[in-house]
Amino acid sequence: MFSANQEPITPIPLPPAADPQKLALGKRLFEDPRLSQDGTRTCISCHNTRANGASGNRLDTGRDGSPLPLNTLSVFNAALSFRLSWQGSFRTLESQAEASLESPAVMATNANDVAARLADDPEMVRQFTAAYGHGPDRTSLLDAIATYERSLLTPGSRFDRWLNGETTALTAEEQDGYRLFKTLGCASCHQGVNIGGNLFQRHGIFAPLAAPNPEILRVPSLRNVAMTPPYFHDGSAATLEDAVRRMGRAQLDRTLSGQQVQAIVAYLRSLTGRYQGRAVAQAPP
Ligand code: HEC
Ligand code: HEC
């Protein structure tokens, strides 16, 4: 008898209840250029929440015009991973947000300076006071951003509907793909609610995969993966087919047949969820 709680993957939950004033403030801050030193960029410059929560680029551009060292991760469902960033360097959304603000290549400022800038704006002071009982400061700034990020969940994918017992939500080929995903061993690393995001692993175990450094990565989430090309920490896989074939070789010492790749990719395409009533979509390049 089928039972969802025997599967290695669990459905994306609905976003947690949150104070609507903190939520609205966090969304506004995420899109506010005053969070960057020179007012030229916002968090959505690289994390397009109207599309896939990331960008369509292999590598996004730092403030000096040179490419960032790592492919941009999606902010969708990031709150459900046990650590944040490719290397899993952060344990909380607040500490990750502070690092984004302080990164010279990203925002090149800091939470105290941003709070001081916002305190010059009576409308911002009003919104912070309504949400936190006082004007903007470092803690409330980071809390509002993190509160908003916790709401960026994408439930409702066809795979999650299938996990929830809707047996017709997946085609036969997609179900074959999911079976292969488990029997080949993909699920030994990509598992849990985010189908990743809960383990550290070496990449390129049996054969080189991508740029050799960093060697140890947080296993990336495969949620919405069909909508987040290109793939790998260096953005070196343009298509999902290529990424799956290379994973088989590098992580499992398996040469997957064309049919196996096709079935697994079909399964991975069923992982696209919904945000605010819309299907997650690829970001324009
Ligand atoms: C110039 C592009 C750029 C901008 C602007 C940017 N980010 Fe990012 N973001 C990235 C990249 C690249 C990564 C992956 C970095 C890494 O893993 O070391 C990332 C990772 C993240 C993650 C981790 C996701 C995960 O699954 O672990 C979060 C959360 C995040 N950013 C939030 C923010 C916030 C909040 C802002 C605004 C204050 C912001 N980002 C601004 C490029 C950007
Ligand atoms: C030993 C652990 C391990 C196994 C087994 C494994 N993976 Fe991965 N997977 C990873 C790691 C680590 C990365 C990140 C690699 C990188 O970015 O260089 C990754 C990345 C990916 C990506 C790209 C995600 C993105 O957003 O860039 C896809 C797709 C993927 N794996 C699918 C699979 C499939 C399908 C299988 C089975 C054929 C599989 N993986 C088996 C650890 C594993």
Ligand 2 centroid, distance to 110 Cα (angstroms): 34
**Pocket of ligand 1 contains residue 47 by CB under 6 Å:** yes
The predicted-structure confidence for 151-176, as pLDDT tens digits, reads as follows 999 999 999 999 999 999 999 999 99
**Pocket of ligand 2 contains residue 265 by CB under 6 Å:** no
Whether a cis peptide bond, with omega within 30° of 0, leads into 230 is: yes
What span, in angstroms and rounded, lies between the C-alpha atoms of 243 and 185? Answer: 15
Please tell me the residue having the least CA distance from ligand 2 atom 2. Answer: 189
What span, in angstroms and rounded, lies between the C-alpha atoms of 152 and 149? Answer: 5
The predicted-structure confidence for 107-139, as pLDDT tens digits, reads as follows 999 999 999 999 999 999 999 999 999 999 999
pLDDT recorded at residue 4: 52
For residue 1, pLDDT beyond 50 = no
CA of residue 224 relative to chain centroid, distance:
9
Q: What is the average pLDDT across 2-11?
A: 79
6 — pLDDT class (breaks 50, 70, 90)? confident
pLDDT recorded at residue 224: 98
Tokens 């020179």 locate to: 38
Give the mean pLDDT of the chain: 97
226 — pLDDT class (breaks 50, 70, 90)? very high
Ligand nearest the Cα atom of residue 195: 2
Task: Provide CB contacts within 8 A for 56, sequence distance 6+.
Answer: 229, 282, 283, 284, 285
Tokens read off for 114: 């941003």
Task: Tell which residue, 153, 180, 167, 149, has the closest CA to residue 264.
Answer: 180
For residue 3, pLDDT beyond 60 = no
Q: What is the average pLDDT across 198-220?
A: 97
What span, in angstroms and rounded, lies between the C-alpha atoms of 259 and 22? Answer: 48
Q: Which amino acid is at 234?
A: D
Q: Which amino acid is at 37?
A: Q
pLDDT recorded at residue 137: 98
**Pocket of ligand 2 contains residue 204 by CB under 6 Å:** no
What span, in angstroms and rounded, lies between the C-alpha atoms of 282 and 51? Answer: 6
Contact 29, 258 (CB under 8 A): no
pLDDT recorded at residue 5: 63
Q: What is the average pLDDT across 207-234?
A: 98
pLDDT recorded at residue 284: 85
**Pocket of ligand 1 contains residue 106 by CB under 6 Å:** yes
Q: What is the average pLDDT across 177-186?
A: 98
Please tell me the residue having the least CA distance from ligand 2 atom 43. Answer: 189
Ligand 2 centroid, distance to 142 Cα (angstroms): 31
Ligand 1 centroid, distance to 17 Cα (angstroms): 24
